[in-house]
Structure 1
Amino acid sequence: MKPWPLLLLLTAAAAPSEAPIEVDVSGVRSAQGLVRVMVCPKETFMKACPWSASTPAKVGQVTVVVHGVPPGHYAVQAYHDADSNDKLDQNWIGIPREGIGFSNDAMSHLTRPKFTVAAFDHGTVRQRIAVKIRYFLG
């Protein structure tokens, strides 16, 4: 037997398994635009996150599947990008004009959620979590 097949087998067994996270996003007010979901480690929470996905918006609930997430400690942030401009629109003092939500329903009033409140552990199997979108303006 050649050594490389054994090496490939050992390498595959040692690599952490990446598994999708299914995010059920509820509270979507309209079918305009997209619902965007980001999976974030603590270092990038409330910023650009390494794993993301989107799906067309529809009134009520949508499911967004984020693929390729390795095991770790993460938080999910989601928003209803109603105008499909790939950013969370805010007013002049920073209040979101579009609906936003976080894992573990971590948002309290108009303050930024803490990673520790929104965080959850993700393993090597498909995981499903819920996020409720909230609208503050309009």
Structure 2
Amino acid sequence: MKTLALILSLFISGIIANAQDTKSITLKVTIENVLSDEGYILAALHTQDTFMQGPGIQNFKHEAKTGSISFVFLDVKPGTYAISSLHDTNENKRMDFQDGGMPKENYAMSGNEIIVGPPTFQDVKFEVNDEDFELKLRF
């Protein structure tokens, strides 16, 4: 009976220890090449379900400033994500396009692919593992 109680207590302790091992990551993002102080910098952290569907699972908004801007997404769980960002110069909270479909405002996405046309999640995804890290995007 003592052996059973010992095994059961070790099993429960293991479950509790594993539940506490889930670490929240801090993701620092720097957007380079902001060309003006007009409007706002908008950015969103997306899962595959939220990508190109509107707000992300975490969102960022800050007054634009020429040069670069850095910010963090806190408490990110390990998984696959993408970041989209926009320099919303006219403050209408959306990307504006020219008649031919080209964007009027600067934007950046995570990922290293050269994208022609609308990006897909597969083009811009990245993995969050168990360590804090930094990501640089360029308008």
TM bracket (short chain) = 0.7 to 0.9
Determine whether 1:17 maps to 2:23: yes
| Identity in percent | 23
Determine whether 1:43 maps to 2:49: yes
Q: Structure 1's 114 and 64: CA in aligned 2 closer, same or farther, altered over 3 A?
A: same
Aligned to 2:111: 104
Aligned to 1:136: none
Quick check: 1:81–1:88 contact (8 Å CA) kept in 2?
yes
Normalising by structure 2, we get a TM-score of 0.75
Aligned to 2:62: 55
Q: How many residues align structurally?
A: 125
Structure possessing the higher radius of gyration over alpha carbons = 2
Note the C-alpha offset of 1:64: 2.3
Quick check: 1:102–1:118 contact (8 Å CA) kept in 2?
yes
Normalising by structure 1, we get a TM-score of 0.75
CA distance in 1 between counterparts of 2:19 and 2:112 reads: 36
Q: Which residue identity is paired with 1:127?
A: F
Consecutive unaligned residues of structure 1, counting only runs of 5 or more, are 1-6, 134-138
Q: Which residue identity is paired with 1:43?
A: D
Consecutive unaligned residues of structure 2, counting only runs of 5 or more, are 1-12
RMSD over aligned CA atoms reads: 2.5
Aligned to 1:85: 92
Quick check: 1:24–1:130 contact (8 Å CA) kept in 2?
yes
The match for 1:127 among 113, 133, 139 is: 133
